[in-house]
């Protein structure tokens, strides 16, 4: 066998071995993807099949308070989750109002001012520690804080907002920090060359350029905390009526509503729990789709 034939045989065998390896790895990846997709599809199917039949106008427009029916003169339970929807939206909005300014200003300091200073390193370490805080600890912090101020037994929606903000701040800080670090230094230097102050450069150049990623990070942080149960159960408690005031009394939220209704061990309670779970998943899905849409809209245009 000549040298050319030997070389051709060797390279052909090597190509076949590489092709077989490629097909094997591709098959393993597709199998892993299918194995991951099966429980997700099964979960969505179970929640939709059990929760969708229970969602109607009465469920979305009534709370759980018993009221007198004017036609029959009898007490009727509301049997709805309107109060839980209001509570979830208000408590989450309160958490956003607290965590977004703190997280954004912290990330601005770390990227634009802190550099490699000891303060910046300390803040980064504390943010990393906060990332691993159990949610129940955040709820206990909110409870302890307001107990010291207002006394034992205090429950308010703002307590849940503070607890959720502790879980949101690390995500907001990390996402905003990474997005602002991706802004090219050429843009900053061009602004400085025109005599623009640093604070104005941050406001007019850095933040608008990274806005898509920052908003996406905030949306993902909301999706991460909106389904938390333990901190809301500890800090906010539960209620049967609609409460639109974050600073007055207990509030019901969807995660706590799901838990309490499932704990009733009745067919009606199970139906309401599945309906609440479906609504919670729908809200999280809408937030994620909104984050993707915003990232596409505000993404830097690379074309000419």
- Give pLDDT tens digits for 65-79: 766 566 665 656 667
Determine how many CB atoms are found less than 10 A away from the CB of residue 48: 15
**Which pLDDT score, from 0 to 100, does residue 94 have?**
93
**Which pLDDT score, from 0 to 100, does residue 77 have?**
61
Mean of the per-residue pLDDT values of the chain: 85
**Mean pLDDT calculated for residue range 194-215:** 89
**Measured between alpha carbons, how far is 185 from 193 in angstroms, rounded to an integer?**
12
In the chain, what are the domain boundaries? 1-38, 76-298
User: Does position 60 have pLDDT exceeding 70, yes or no?
Assistant: yes
**Which pLDDT score, from 0 to 100, does residue 268 have?**
85
**Which pLDDT score, from 0 to 100, does residue 31 have?**
93
Q: What is the pLDDT of residues 101-130, one digit of tens each?
A: 999 999 999 999 988 889 999 999 999 888
User: Does position 1 have pLDDT exceeding 60, yes or no?
Assistant: no
Query: Quick check: 261 and 273 in contact, CB under 8 A?
Result: yes
Outline where the chain has alpha helix (H). 3-51, 57-61, 82-108, 118-131, 135-150, 157-181, 185-193, 198-201, 207-225, 230-235, 254-263, 267-298
**Percent of the chain at pLDDT exceeding 70:** 90
**Which pLDDT score, from 0 to 100, does residue 10 have?**
65
**Which pLDDT score, from 0 to 100, does residue 95 have?**
94
Query: Quick check: 257 and 275 in contact, CB under 8 A?
Result: no
Question: How sure is the predictor about 98, in pLDDT bands with cuts at 50, 70 and 90?
Answer: very high
**Measured between alpha carbons, how far is 162 from 235 in angstroms, rounded to an integer?**
9
CATH code reported for the domain at 76-298: 1.10.3720.10
**Which pLDDT score, from 0 to 100, does residue 304 have?**
46
């Amino acid at each position: 066998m000549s040298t050319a034939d030997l070389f051709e045989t060797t390279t052909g065998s090597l190509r076949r071995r590489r092709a077989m390896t490629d097909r094997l790895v591709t098959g393993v990846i597709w199998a892993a993807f299918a194995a991951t997709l099966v429980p997700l599809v099964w979960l969505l199917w179970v929640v939709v099949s059990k929760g969708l039949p229970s969602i109607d106008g009465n469920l979305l427009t009534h709370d759980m308070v018993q009221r007198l029916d004017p036609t029959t003169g009898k007490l009727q339970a509301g049997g709805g989750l309107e109060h839980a929807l209001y509570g979830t939206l208000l408590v989450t909005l309160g958490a956003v109002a607290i965590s977004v300014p703190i997280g954004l200003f912290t990330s601005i300091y770390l990227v634009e001012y802190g550099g490699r200073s000891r303060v910046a390193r300390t803040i980064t370490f504390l943010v990393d520690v906060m990332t691993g805080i159990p949610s129940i600890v955040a709820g206990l912090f909110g409870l302890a804080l307001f107990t010291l101020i207002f006394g034992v037994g205090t429950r308010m929606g703002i307590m849940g907002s503070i607890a959720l903000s502790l879980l949101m701040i690390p995500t907001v800080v990390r996402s905003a920090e990474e997005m602002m670090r991706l802004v090219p230094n050429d843009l900053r230097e061009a602004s400085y060359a025109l005599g623009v102050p640093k604070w104005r450069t941050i406001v007019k150049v850095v933040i608008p350029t990274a806005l898509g990623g920052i908003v996406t990070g905030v949306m993902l942080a909301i999706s991460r905390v909106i389904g938390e149960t333990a901190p809301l159960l500890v800090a906010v408690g539960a209620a049967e009526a609609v409460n639109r005031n974050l600073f007055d009394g207990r509030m019901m939220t969807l995660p706590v509503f799901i838990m309490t209704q499932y704990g009733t061990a009745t067919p009606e309670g199970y139906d309401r729990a599945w309906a609440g779970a479906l609504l919670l998943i729908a809200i999280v899905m809408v937030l994620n789709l909104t984050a993707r849409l915003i990232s596409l809209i505000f993404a830097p245009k690379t074309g000419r």
